[in-house]
Structure 1
Amino acid sequence: MNFDLEDKLNEYVKRNDLDSAIRIAESELSKIPETEFHQLIGMNLLHLESKLDKYISNFYSSVKLKYALSFGKNLKALYCEMNGFTINYDRWFIDLFSFSEIAQEDYEWLADYDHLTKNDLTLTGFENLQKVYEDVYKNKKYEIPEIEQAYEVAELLIILRLQELFRETYKNAKSNGKKWTEFPMFVTAHDYEMIYKTE
């Protein structure tokens, strides 16, 4: 993991400036000698927007009812976690979680969710990259310097693209009056510190 780059990108993510974060990550990737990971430059997940909208809407409908039936608990926030995608290259997916308690100082509270989705949502469009991750692991290519460097930038760029998908989905759902946009959604992948919060 490129912790310096993650810290730098995280500053932009916290300011809700995903466009700058993506630009910086793509620029860093382009400085590395060409690898299979470079196909990620310019790619996004925005084709999944309507599917994600429906997925969040369905989850919101089910948890809204559960909170209505539970005394003293109200929905405060939602959380999306992508699976540990670098080592689970066969399928990339997300799960959603809901919370009645959140904290401001850190993200330890993300472990104490009330409800989670019964079914995950498969992320499509990056299948060629999944094959690249598989090739790197199966053929132990991680030892090759440019592959290691590109790998470390690519993993952060993939998370940024997921966060971009949520930003755009929330923006359009808000303009269509979807109630779930009133609740913040925190978005990242398993075991990553770079967490985006929808506005």
Structure 2
Amino acid sequence: MSHWKIVDDYFRNNNVSGAISYLNGFLSANNAQQFGSIVGASFTNPPSSVLAEINRFIEANEKQFDVKAVYLEINGFDINHERWYFDLFAYSSYSENVDDTEWLCNWQSDQWPEIDLTGMTSAQEAFAWYHNERIWKSQPELKSVYEASMLLITAKFAQLIGTALEAGHLFKAIPVLATAHGFESLVRYEPWHITVVSPWLIGQISSVLTTPISFHVRTAPSFFNRSPDDTDL
């Protein structure tokens, strides 16, 4: 089974950490050469700053239309190794069909400033080495390592987004999707896959009943657990 299929299965099951563990293991067990530096590397953008930018983006677009989903895409980093960044796109509709990605080509948001990604200098140098030195031609056996490295960067980007979403409250409880440019496999952070009962809602319901009631509450990540009194950012 190819790396692409294995990682796609991990992504479909929202198991980003599993994908990272698998790819780290593969690179560590093989002669990854310069790509070996990716195993211990990670993006250093502060998660709270990433979340704040996502929230600003959603809030700005909410003034134009009812935002139903947001898609975040890292640029074609393997051949654009000088600068890594991600773009933000907003949509007025959302497809839950995991096999349907065509709708992502039709976003409704206006252009938004790109967000630079930091902390992966050694990884950028590895991709520059692979292309500038024409390693793909002199060492064709390294292709599997190269593909695993691309997937690992994508998974670590998705991990950054997941960590950012856990850093606070999302402006609106909508799906946030993430992957790399040109990739069909993507990670979906969907609010309705988690049972959410807000403590604020429990208090409101209990206050109008004469008999005290109790709820079994499954705590959701904070970015999907907002009350009307919460601040947006």
TM-score scaled to structure 2, two decimals?
0.75
Cross-structure match for 1:21:
19
**1:120 maps to which residue?**
114
Name which of 98, 111, 121 aligns with 2:90.
98
Alignment-derived partner of residue 201 in structure 2: none
Q: Is the partner of 2:112 in helix, strand or coil?
A: coil
Unpaired segments ≥5 residues, structure 2: 191-233
1:16–1:45 Cα change, 3 Å:
same
| Cα root mean square deviation, aligned | 1.6
Aligned counterparts of 2:155 and 2:44: Cα–Cα separation in 1: 12
Structure ranking higher in helix proportion:
1
Number of residue pairs matched? 187
Does structure 2 retain, via aligned residues, the 8 Å contact 1:95–1:116? Answer: no
Q: Does residue 131 of the first structure (1) align with residue 125 of the second (2)?
A: yes
Asked if structure 1 preserves the Cα contact closer than 8 Å seen for 2:51 and 2:167, the reply is no
Rg bigger for which structure? 2
Summarize deviations over 1:25-69 as a string: whole Å, max 9, x none. Answer: 1111112114110111132225431221121122112111112xx
Counterpart selection for 1:31 from 14, 29, 32: 29
Query: 1:147-174 CA distances to partner (integer Å, 9 max, x unpaired)?
Result: 322211110000000001111111222x
From 87, 92, 100, the equivalent of 2:79 is 87
Return the match for 1:77 from 65, 69, 90: 69
Please give the alpha-carbon distance, in whole angstroms, between the structure 2 residues aligned to 1:134 and 1:99.
34
Contact 1:59 1:117 in 2 (8 A): no
2:182 is matched by which residue type in structure 1? Answer: D
1:27/1:110 CA distance change after superposition, 3 Å = same
Q: What is the deviation of 1:118?
A: 2.2
Q: Unpaired runs of 5+ in structure 1?
A: 68-73
Structure of greater relative contact order (alpha carbons < 8 Å, 6+ residues apart) = 1
